[in-house]
Amino acid sequence: MRILHRAIIAVVMVIGAVGGPASPASADAPAAVAKVAEGHEHTCAIGTDATLWCWGGNTSGQLGDGTTTNRTTPVRVGDATNWATVDAGTGHTCATRTDGTLWCWGGNFRGQLGDGSTTNRTSPVRVGTAATWADVNAGSNHTCATRTDGTLWCWGFNRHNQLGQDGSVYVATTPLQVGTATTWRSVTLGFAHTCATRTDRTLWCWGDNSSGQLGVGSLLYKTSPTQVGTATTWATVTAGYTFTCATRADGTLWCWGENGYGQLGVGTTYQTAPVEVGGTSWAGVNVGNDTTCASRTDGSLWCWGNNANGQVGDGTTTHRFTPVRVGTGTTWTSGIAAGYHVCAVRTDGSLWCWGANWSGQTGDGTTISPRLITYRTLP
């Protein structure tokens, strides 16, 4: 395990100055960021060199550095240089490697690490022996992942059937296959619901539906995957605490579920079926807790919903019920991680974070919260 010894490059920016990234104040050549993920109070990112770094809250070992010490700047997860994808749950983290192996660490009270136990892990532990994992998504107390053969697997807490299993399973400490389909393309997890797309561009959701987060037109829970409407043009999907958003191939954006903070972008009334968020040029979207952020094809970034910690990025802590633009920049990518804090990647590989920072999750070396904009790169 190697801990970061070089100082993190961090410049706190005001929201009005985010039209372009600041110049690094060090001669060291920082690694650009390829992927970013964020949990309740921690953040992880994969560099373009395929190294993995995490920072923020670490009470359950979710940073993977062998400790339970919070970190206000990034620490490296092991010495591997073949990390492919990463996702952060409420208190645990999971990631795949280019060799097809899957690794998880952090909180494990409900078996969400998939290692056959309910013991917290402060360093990555391998999930089974399979070497065909394609992608992984970590939720609050459950985890799901796709394999290269198109199968979908889930584990952890199943109180609301979020694993796609019947009531005979309450906690699964190892992966269980969801049905028999071999056409799963992507998966996303909310607090107690799961949604996934298939290769035919259909969208399916299951689990808790108390706020309409499954998008099936009712508040009835679903114990197995249930198709959302009849559309066959879904491109991406992302699940928040009790709501869901997704994009279609035509660039439209749709959201449904809980809407008390305006996280659906269409007022304040909850929705049990997808409703369109204005515009047809959406490129990517990510949601977390009660906040939504999305990029457009022109490279602009927009956020809305819960803004108690400044996570909407408009320089205020006022909740927003329709999309508001983050600065004037036009180089934002679809690499966005949203929640109580938000991190987003620009086309030059720079990473920007803002919002809640009580555990150092914006990675700028402080615990000042809320943060407006923090520019930082990996060492």
For 12-51, write each residue's pLDDT tens digit: 222 333 443 332 222 233 479 999 999 999 999 999 999 9
Give the tens place of pLDDT for each residue, 95-113: 999 999 999 999 999 999 9
Q: Global pTM?
A: 0.92
Residue 10 confidence class, pLDDT cut points 50, 70, 90: very low
| Residue 297 DSSP label | T
Residue 171 confidence class, pLDDT cut points 50, 70, 90: very high
Q: Which residues of 4-24 are buried (b: 16+ CB within 10 A; e: fewer)?
A: beeebbbebbebebbeebbeb
CA dihedral sign of residues 249, 250, 252, 256: negative
Rounded Cα distance between 17 and 31, Å, is 23
Q: Shortest CA distance to 302 belongs to which of 65, 54, 18, 50?
A: 18
What confidence score (pLDDT) does residue 4 get? Answer: 31
Rounded Cα distance between 150 and 160, Å, is 24
Q: What is the mean pLDDT of the chain?
A: 91
Rounded Cα distance between 187 and 312, Å, is 25
Which residues, other chains included, contact 27 with Cβ-Cβ below 8 Å and sequence gap of 6+? none
Beta bridge partners of 376: 10, 351
| Residue 270 DSSP label | -
